[in-house]
Every structure is written in structure tokens, then in C-alpha cells.
């Protein structure tokens, strides 16, 4: 019996994380967290030059684009997620995701079924993406290494999605989530082991489906068969010289290579 109490004690003492929209009171802790990020994580996360970090955090907070997780008095994770305007979507889709414009180079297209399995299609079947659709920006996030493998990032993502649900128009035909991956967290290909899309899908598909009844009632559409289309394009993570006096990303040849990704849920 004594062993039972030995193993139960750490679980009993563990605090429960809380999730919220970031406020300006979080800005200093966010800045400190980014300044502590390891060299390995620097290759996976967009980090602005030092001169612009504080301003960027404050601007994103004021624009209600940042969410944080706290445990007791400590900030343990953050996430950038928001519904983009048409102008924002056009810029992100052209410059970052590269699913539009002259630099667009599709590499993978397929669908994820409701059970998470992936079916690859020919790149010839890739569609044109319309700015008339809704685009969610699933941006940079980071969890303190001491708090990983506890599902905190997923719960923070779910909280952020729930926070923007009322911003999504009721007359949309499809809902898109855009995000970037570097080669290190993209897996061998879409849906393979190591592809972070697998974890992103676990938040996006339930959220998109939760809107089905609302959109269906508004539009009299027929809901789809619970699959999500997946698209990848050759892209580069916006990479910056940490000591630069300007906030201009490095050219592609000096940036971290990866993919611009889109998950699409159609409502009819």
C-alpha cells in the first residue's frame, strides 16, 4: 500500500493549467520565454530580431491573436491563432504558405479521413484556394520543456479555437487552417510519423465539425463525409538575424526550409 501513495503523491500535487487570451500583463513573461528558447527550437519557431520582440508581442496581444497557458503563477505556453481578414489571408497565403502567387510549388495533396488515416492524391488535383473562404492562422507556439507531453498545446489550441468560433461567418463554403512546418517536424510525408499535422488535425477536425450544424442550418447544405483535405507547398520558415536592426526575413537560401500547409473542411 505504501507504494501506491508514493506514486499518487506527485499526481495529487500537480496543478491544473489555466488557458486564456494573452493580456499585456503577460508580455514580459512571453518575452523572457522567447529569449530563453534553445538553439534547437530556434530552428522550429519564428523568432523576430531582438529589437522587435516586445513590440510584436504587445501588438499581437492587442489584436487578440495570442493565447497563453499558465500553471499557478508561471506562464508555461503560448500560441498564436486567429481568423484572418481577406487581406491578411492573401498576404500569408502568398508570402508564408505559398499556396498562391508565382512562388507556389505544391508538393503533397490528399485527404485525412475521420479515423486519421491519410490518402494521397495526384498533385494535378490541387485546387485554387479562394479568399472568399474562411482562413484560420495557426501560428507560432511554444511550451516550456518541463511541461511537455501533458497535452497542454492541444488544450491551448482547442481553447483558442473555441474563443474565435463566433467570428467565423455562417455563409462559408469551407473552413481552412493554415500553418507552417519545417522539415524536422513535417515527417517523411503528410500523415507519416513525425508529421505535426497529425496533432493539428485532432483539434481542427472536431472544431470544424462542431460548426457543421450551424452552417448547415444557415445554408441548407449537406454536411460532408467527415474528411479533411490536406495540401502542402514548398516554403521557408520566416527566419531572422536576431541582431538585425530591421524586421526583414532572411532570403530563402538562408532560411529554414519546410512547408506551407492547409487543412480544408468543406461544408457541402
Q: Give residue-wise pLDDT tens across range 59-77.
A: 999 999 999 999 988 999 9
Distances, alpha carbon 54 to alpha carbons 58, 73, 115, 137, 247, in Å? 6, 21, 41, 21, 13
Lowest mean pLDDT among 88-97, 103-112, 120-129, 235-244: 120-129
The dihedral built from the CA positions of residue 32, 64, 156 and 52, taken in this order, carries a sign that is negative
Residue 230 lies in a domain: yes
Return the number of other C-beta atoms located less than 10 Å from residue 66's C-beta.
27
Q: What is the per-residue pLDDT for 9?
A: 43
Q: What distance in Å separates the CA atoms of residue 50 and residue 7, rounded to the nearest whole number?
A: 43
Report whether pLDDT(14) > 70.
Answer: no
Give the count of domains, the chain: 1
Residue 56 lies in a domain: no
Contacts of 260 (CB under 8 A, 6+ apart): 93, 96, 97, 98, 99, 178, 180, 232, 233, 234, 235
Residue 250 lies in a domain: yes
Joined grid coordinates for residue 124:
494535378
Which tens digit of pLDDT belongs to each residue from 88-111? 999 999 999 999 999 999 999 999
Lowest mean pLDDT among 33-42, 111-120, 173-182, 231-240: 33-42
Torsion, Cα of 75, 206, 109, 92 (10° steps):
-50
String of DSSP letters for 78-92: EEEEEEPPHHHHHHH
Residue 221 lies in a domain: yes
Report whether pLDDT(267) > 70.
Answer: yes
DSSP H helical ranges for the chain = 2-13, 27-36, 39-42, 50-62, 86-95, 152-164, 197-210, 212-219
Instruction: Please give the residue range of the domain that contains residue 158.
Output: 80-266
pTM as predicted: 0.88
Torsion, Cα of 238, 179, 91, 142 (10° steps):
-50
DSSP 145: G
Task: State the Cα angle at 204 between 19 and 101, rounded to 5°.
Answer: 115
Lowest mean pLDDT among 142-146, 160-164, 215-219: 215-219
Report whether pLDDT(40) > 80.
Answer: no
Q: What is the per-residue pLDDT for 11?
A: 45
What's the whole-number mean pLDDT along residues 207-217?
71
Report whether pLDDT(128) > 90.
Answer: no
Residue 51 lies in a domain: no
Residue 133 lies in a domain: yes
Q: Render the burial of 170-196: b for 16+ CB within 10 Å, e for the rest.
A: eebebbbbbbbbbeebbbeebbeeebb
Report whether pLDDT(8) > 60.
Answer: no
Tell me the pLDDT band of 211, cut-offs 50, 70 and 90: confident
Report whether pLDDT(218) > 80.
Answer: no
Tell me the pLDDT band of 84, cut-offs 50, 70 and 90: very high
Tell me the pLDDT band of 216, cut-offs 50, 70 and 90: low
Contact 224/266 with Cβ under 8 angstroms? yes
Residue 188 lies in a domain: yes
Q: What is the per-residue pLDDT for 214?
A: 59
Joined grid coordinates for residue 51:
529589437
Return the number of other C-beta atoms located less than 10 Å from residue 201's C-beta.
19
Q: Half-sphere exposure of residue 22, counting CA atoms within 13 Å on the CB side?
A: 31
Residue 209 lies in a domain: yes
Tell me the pLDDT band of 126, cut-offs 50, 70 and 90: confident
Report whether pLDDT(152) > 90.
Answer: yes
Which tens digit of pLDDT belongs to each residue from 196-207? 999 999 999 999
Joined grid coordinates for residue 44:
522550429
Average pLDDT, the chain: 87
Amino acid at each position: 500500500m505504501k507504494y501506491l501513495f508514493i506514486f499518487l503523491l506527485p499526481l495529487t500535487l500537480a496543478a491544473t493549467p489555466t488557458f486564456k487570451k494573452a493580456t499585456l500583463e503577460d508580455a514580459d513573461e512571453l518575452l523572457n520565454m522567447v529569449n530563453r528558447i534553445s538553439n534547437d527550437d530556434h530552428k522550429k519557431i519564428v523568432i523576430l530580431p531582438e529589437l522587435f520582440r516586445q513590440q510584436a508581442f504587445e501588438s499581437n496581444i492587442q489584436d487578440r491573436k495570442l493565447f497563453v497557458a499558465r500553471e499557478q503563477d508561471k506562464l508555461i505556453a503560448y500560441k498564436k491563432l486567429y481568423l484572418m481578414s481577406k487581406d491578411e489571408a492573401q498576404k500569408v497565403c502568398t508570402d508564408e504558405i505559398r499556396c498562391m502567387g508565382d512562388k507556389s510549388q505544391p508538393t503533397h495533396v490528399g485527404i485525412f479521413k475521420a479515423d486519421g488515416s491519410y490518402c494521397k492524391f495526384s498533385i494535378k488535383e490541387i485546387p485554387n484556394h479562394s479568399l472568399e473562404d474562411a482562413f484560420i492562422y495557426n501560428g507560432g507556439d511554444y511550451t516550456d520543456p518541463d511541461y511537455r507531453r501533458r497535452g497542454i498545446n492541444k488544450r491551448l489550441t482547442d481553447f483558442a479555437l473555441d474563443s474565435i468560433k463566433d467570428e467565423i461567418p455562417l455563409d462559408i463554403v469551407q473552413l481552412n487552417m493554415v500553418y507552417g512546418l519545417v522539415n524536422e517536424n513535417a515527417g517523411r510525408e503528410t500523415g507519416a510519423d513525425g508529421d505535426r499535422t497529425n496533432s493539428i488535425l485532432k483539434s481542427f477536425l472536431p472544431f470544424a465539425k462542431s460548426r457543421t450544424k450551424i452552417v448547415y442550418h444557415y445554408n441548407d447544405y449537406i454536411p460532408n463525409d467527415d474528411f479533411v483535405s490536406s495540401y502542402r507547398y514548398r516554403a521557408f520558415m520566416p527566419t531572422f538575424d536576431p541582431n538585425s536592426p530591421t524586421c526583414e526575413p532572411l532570403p530563402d537560401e538562408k532560411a529554414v526550409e519546410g512547408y506551407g500547409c492547409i487543412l480544408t473542411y468543406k461544408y457541402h
